[in-house]
Amino acid sequence: MSSERPLETHAQISEEQTATLPNGLTICYQTIGDPAARPLLLVMGLGGPMTWWPIDLCRQLAAEDFFVIRYDNRDTGHSSRLREHRVTRSHLVAAFLGRRVPVPYSIRDLASDGFALLDHLGINTAHLAGVSMGGMIAQTMAIERPERVLALTSIMSTTGARTAGFQHPVLLPNLLRRGARTKEQYVEGTVAFNKVIGSPTYPTPDDVVRARAEETWDRGISFSGVMRHMIAVITQRNRTEALGELSMPVTVVHGTKDKMVHLSGGKATAKAVPGSDLRVVDGMGHDLPPGLYDQLVAAIASSAERATG
C-alpha cells in the first residue's frame, strides 16, 4: 500500500543479489535509488526479511537522495541459515534467567554482517537505520566502527539494559509458540499478532498484512532462525555506556503504544546518546504502517542532514 504522499521520482530498484561474506555466509540484498546518492543501510528486526522494509517507504527514502540498501539478516529470507545450531525454548528461558547457554551468534556478529555487506558494495561510510533488533544491530555498528557510520536512526529499539524496552506480558505466549506448519496458519497468525503489536492510530489493512505474510512465507521463513535471533537478543550486552561515546547524529523514534519494545527502550537510548533527537510518536506500535512513512523518512533525513550540516 502506497503512502499518501506522491513519490517525486521513479527509484532505480535492483534485482535481489547475493553477497558472499568473508565468514562464508551469503547475504541477500537489494538496492533502491541512485548509487551516487547518500548510502543508507536499512537493518530489519527479529525474524524479518528485508521485505519488511516496505518498498514504498524505500522509494520515499530514495526520493530524499538516499541510495537505499535493504537485506536479509542471516537466518532470514534468502540469506544463509545456520541450521546446525539448535536453540530450544529451555535455552531461551535459561538465558533470560542469566544462565550460561550456547549462543550461535551475537548481535555483534550480526553487526559484522552489515559492515561486510557494505564492504562488498564498496561503501566505506553510510547512514544507518534499524528497527527493533535491527536498531540493536545498527547501534552496535555505530559503537564498533563509528568512523564508518555517518548517522544513526534507531527505531522502536533499546539499549540492551534489562530495565528498559521490556515486552508486554500479553506477548509471551505468542513469542514462545511453535512455528506454523502451513502457510495458511502462518498468514492468519501474523494478521492476528499484528492486531496486538501494530499501531492503533495508524492501522495497516488486513489485506496488506496478509500479503506481506504470504511473501514472507514464500521467501522461506525459518522458525529455528527466529529462535537463534531471540537468544542473540536475550544475551546482548548493555550498550548504555558505549552509546554515550557516540558523536555522530542520532535520532530515536519510538511509539507510545509499542507492546514489543516498551517506550522506555527508546527513551533510554536517547538519554544514553549525547545530543540525540528523540521523536515519540503517539499511537505508534511495533510496525511500519503506511501512515507513518512521512515521519520515518523525516527522522532518517534529519539524521543525515545533521551529519552533513
Per-residue pLDDT 10s for the chain (309 aa) are 333 333 445 689 999 999 999 999 999 999 999 999 999 999 999 999 999 999 999 999 999 999 999 999 999 999 999 988 988 888 988 888 889 998 999 999 999 999 999 999 999 999 999 999 999 999 999 999 999 999 999 999 999 999 998 887 777 666 666 678 899 999 999 999 999 999 999 999 999 999 999 999 999 999 999 999 999 999 999 999 999 999 999 999 999 999 999 999 999 999 999 999 999 999 999 999 999 999 999 999 999 999 986
Specify if 8 maps to a domain: no
Specify if 7 maps to a domain: no
pLDDT of residue 172: 67
Specify if 96 maps to a domain: yes
Place of cell 507492546: 259
Q: What is the pTM of this model?
A: 0.93
Work out the number of other CB atoms within 10 angstroms of the CB of residue 218: 9
| Adjacent-strand bridge partners of 278 | 252
Specify if 11 maps to a domain: no
Place of cell 535509488: 33
Tell me which residue range forms the domain holding 69. Answer: 17-308
Specify if 136 maps to a domain: yes
CATH number, domain containing residue 266: 3.40.50.1820
pLDDT of residue 8: 46
pLDDT of residue 174: 66
Number of domains in the chain: 1
Three cell numbers, residue 91: 535455552
pLDDT of residue 135: 98
24: left (phi > 0), else alpha (psi -120 to 50), else beta? left
Specify if 162 maps to a domain: yes
Report how far residue 185's alpha carbon sits from residue 250's, in angstroms, rounded to the nearest whole number.
39
The residues, ordered by sequence, that sit 6+ positions from 207 with a Cβ below 8 Å of its Cβ are: none
Place of cell 546446525: 84
The residue type of 253 is V
Specify if 9 maps to a domain: no
The residue type of 34 is D
pLDDT of residue 167: 80
